[in-house]
Amino acid sequence: MLARIGRATCVSASQRFLHVAVERNAAFGQISEKDVAFFEQLLGAGGVVTDPDALEPFNRDWQKKYVGNTKVALRPRTTEQVSELLRYCYSRRLAVVPQGGNTGLVGGSVPVFDEVVVSTAAMNRVLEFDEVSGTLVAQAGAVLQSLDEYAGQRGFMMPLDLGAKGSCHIGGNVSTNAGGLRLVRYGSLHGSVLGLQVVLPQPLAGAAGAGSGGGGGGGDGRVLDLLRTLRKDNTGYDLKQLFIGAEGTLGIITAVAIQCAPRPASVQLALLACPSFPAVTAALRTARRMLGEVLSAVEFLDSPCSHLATAHLEGVRNPLLQGGAAEGGGGGGGGEGVTHGSVGSAPFYMLVETHGSDADHDQQKMERFLEAVMGDGSVVDGTLAASEAQAKSIWRLREGVSEALVRRGAVYKYDVSLPTSSMYELVEALRARLAAAGFGADAGVLVVGYGHIGDGNLHLNISAPRYDDGLLSLIEPYVYEYVSRHNGSISAEHGIGLMKAQCLSYSKGPVAVELMRRIKEVVDPYGIMNPYKVLPPRPA
């Protein structure tokens, strides 16, 4: 039985993203009344969702591109419950999709067919916090923003920040090795995660006699307890690294121990306008040199991104765009909240942020940096946030691009790592390629680039009035081949999910992929953990 990905089973058929035909694995069990009864008995009626309308948010991703057809979503509250239900699903060969905040961008967090969704939404407690070391232990379903607020009350901050912070779960962040806005300063989760608690699909130890099944404490053998808050622990293979970024294909993360950073006493944020991409990279070099140890974020966006964000989102504006007349009878109206008498739209904008312990010191560094980049012409205009409100407003411009793209229409989203100095050439090349084939600005197609320039990470997006296979065929595999030729990564931080499951070989060689398959087979012999994603099937 062949199923085209995203064949609409729910209302709006206009946004289907046709990708690759995947066949449902016939070896998987199918949900029955008996299964639902077991789940209800284990989790209580509130922990089991079977109503088709209530299942809708579990079945589709936030971009409305990937739609599954699960009949049941589960909301366990404890690790023991997760262990019990994985034991059951394993024995029944029921495929499982672990789901956090469902904010992923590659279709990795929703079912492809009728896989059971296991949501961490009900597991959101903070378990422990050490005010001296700044180590935080929380259940996997804790929302990133609440953890940051919790840490903030105690003088700390979470070591990562991303646009989805109000909805994403820390377990999901870890499963996808989320990057975000401050990786350039606080590093990746591979460094800041100190420990994990993971439930595996099959038991690897403990519980007298394999196959003695569940019943009470039988779950111990499948709970991988690596939950330590130690900064240093060289005792055998560092297994937690396997699960960081495994996208739920090896087990379900139920608790995370993470190293928080001291909340900076001084945050400075500048929004800069640059006349060209080489100017952007020159400013980046200067920022690294002059702001060095206090640099906390460097982002860029091109002019179309800025227009998108201001056009499609309420209350978002670019402070550097000239509004209203600067003299004469201008006054009120269009002059709201903008700098007056500044240059018109620049081709590129950058956000440069610092985190430090001393406001005077950081302000001086920032001012010297700004003088330098204004002086050498890499920056033609800019503004330094004078208050938290202004800083939030500037961040909103950058963080809102993703949402604005979704509102405009259909979006094809690519997240790649490329050499920084030539990064934008991909955007220009694709724009020219699509325009030549009739998919230019006249056809309502926009090709935009923005992203974490401090990490060499470009978010390439193609916005079109509607999804179109002809357009897609011009984009893929062109983008992947381009990236591969430049020895880049076809997925810098978004992961593989369903979207790129066939494309792993563009960035990883056959030995690597085979080793990944073998690990998967050892940990999950029935392949029930988030199937059809991440790893391509072995060639026949």
Partner 1 sequence: MKVLVAIKRVIDYAVPVRVKPDKSGVEALIPKLSMNPFCEIALEEAVRLKEKGVAAEVVAVSLGPQHFQETLRTALAMGADRAIHVAAGSGSVSEPPQPLGVARVLAALAAREGAGLVLLGKQAIDDDCNQTGQMLAGLLGWPQATFASKLEAAKGDLRVRVTREVDGGLEVLSLPLPAVITADLRLNTPRFVTLPSMMRAKKRPIESASLEQFGLAAADVAPQLTTLSVEEPPGRQAGTRVGSAVELVRRLREEARVL
User: Judged by CB under 8 A, which of 211, 328, 509, 539 binds partner 1?
Assistant: 328
Query: Would you state the structure tokens that stand for residue 378, as one six-digit string?
Result: 């890499």
Is position 155 an interface residue for partner 1 (rule: CB under 8 A)? Answer: yes
Is position 344 an interface residue for partner 1 (rule: CB under 8 A)? Answer: no
- Cα–Cα distances in Å, from 164 out to 74, 197, 308, 394, 464? 23, 23, 18, 17, 23
Are the C-beta atoms of residues 41 and 53 closer than 8 Å to each other? no
Q: Shortest gap between Cβ of 364 and partner 1 (angstroms)?
A: 11
Q: Shortest gap between Cβ of 350 and partner 1 (angstroms)?
A: 12
- Say which residue the tokens 């961490």 belong to: 120
The continuous run of DSSP H or E covering 384 comes out as strand 381-384
Q: Which stretch binds partner 1 (CB under 8 A): 109-117, 129-137, 177-185, 383-391?
A: 383-391
Is position 368 an interface residue for partner 1 (rule: CB under 8 A)? Answer: no
DSSP notation for 6-52: T---SS-GGG-----EEE--TTS----HHHHHHHHHHH-GGGEE--H
Closer CB to partner 1, residue 354 or residue 383? Answer: 383
Q: Decide: helix, strand or coil at residue 119.
A: strand
Round to whole Å and give the CA distance between 124 and 138. 7
Q: Shortest gap between Cβ of 231 and partner 1 (angstroms)?
A: 25
Q: Which stretch binds partner 1 (CB under 8 A): 108-116, 298-306, 387-395, 525-533?
A: 387-395
User: Judged by CB under 8 A, which of 370, 406, 496, 528 binds partner 1?
Assistant: 370
Q: Decide: helix, strand or coil at residue 534.
A: coil
- Helix and strand totals (H; E) in the chain: 17, 20
Q: How crowded is residue 166: how many other Cβ atoms within 10 Å of its Cβ?
A: 11
Closer CB to partner 1, residue 41 or residue 153? Answer: 153
Q: Shortest gap between Cβ of 273 and partner 1 (angstroms)?
A: 9
Number of residues located near partner 1, criterion CB under 8 A: 44
Is position 329 an interface residue for partner 1 (rule: CB under 8 A)? Answer: yes
Q: Which stretch binds partner 1 (CB under 8 A): 8-16, 140-148, 292-300, 374-382?
A: 374-382
Q: Is 447 exposed, middle or buried (0-12, 13-18, 19+ CB in 10 A)?
A: buried
Query: Would you state the structure tokens that stand for residue 291, as one six-digit string?
Result: 């702001």
Which residues inside 24-83 make contact with partner 1, applying CB under 8 A? none
Strands 193-199 and 223-226 turn out to be antiparallel
Round to whole Å and give the CA distance between 366 and 287. 9
DSSP notation for 520-531: HHHH-TT--BST
Q: Shortest gap between Cβ of 332 and partner 1 (angstroms)?
A: 7
Is position 326 an interface residue for partner 1 (rule: CB under 8 A)? Answer: yes
| Local structure of residue 480 (DSSP, 8 states) | H
User: Judged by CB under 8 A, which of 201, 382, 497, 531 binds partner 1?
Assistant: 382
Is position 374 an interface residue for partner 1 (rule: CB under 8 A)? Answer: yes
Is position 376 an interface residue for partner 1 (rule: CB under 8 A)? Answer: no
User: Judged by CB under 8 A, which of 342, 378, 491, 507 binds partner 1?
Assistant: 342
Round to whole Å and give the CA distance between 228 and 459. 35
Are the C-beta atoms of residues 254 and 197 closer than 8 Å to each other? yes
Q: How crowded is residue 436: how many other Cβ atoms within 10 Å of its Cβ?
A: 10
Q: Shortest gap between Cβ of 336 and partner 1 (angstroms)?
A: 4
Q: Shortest gap between Cβ of 372 and partner 1 (angstroms)?
A: 11
- Say which residue the tokens 């077991």 belong to: 38
Is position 331 an interface residue for partner 1 (rule: CB under 8 A)? Answer: yes
Q: Which stretch binds partner 1 (CB under 8 A): 161-169, 322-330, 466-474, 504-512?
A: 322-330
- Say which residue the tokens 């989203």 belong to: 413
Q: Which stretch binds partner 1 (CB under 8 A): 206-214, 237-245, 274-282, 384-392?
A: 384-392
Q: In whole angstroms, how large is the CA radius of gyration of the chain?
A: 24
Q: Shortest gap between Cβ of 371 and partner 1 (angstroms)?
A: 7
Closer CB to partner 1, residue 22 or residue 320? Answer: 320
Is position 428 an interface residue for partner 1 (rule: CB under 8 A)? Answer: no
Is position 178 an interface residue for partner 1 (rule: CB under 8 A)? Answer: no
| Residues at the contact surface with partner 1, assessed by CB under 8 A | 152-153, 155, 263-267, 270, 272, 319-320, 326-332, 335-342, 359, 367, 370-371, 374, 379, 381-390, 392
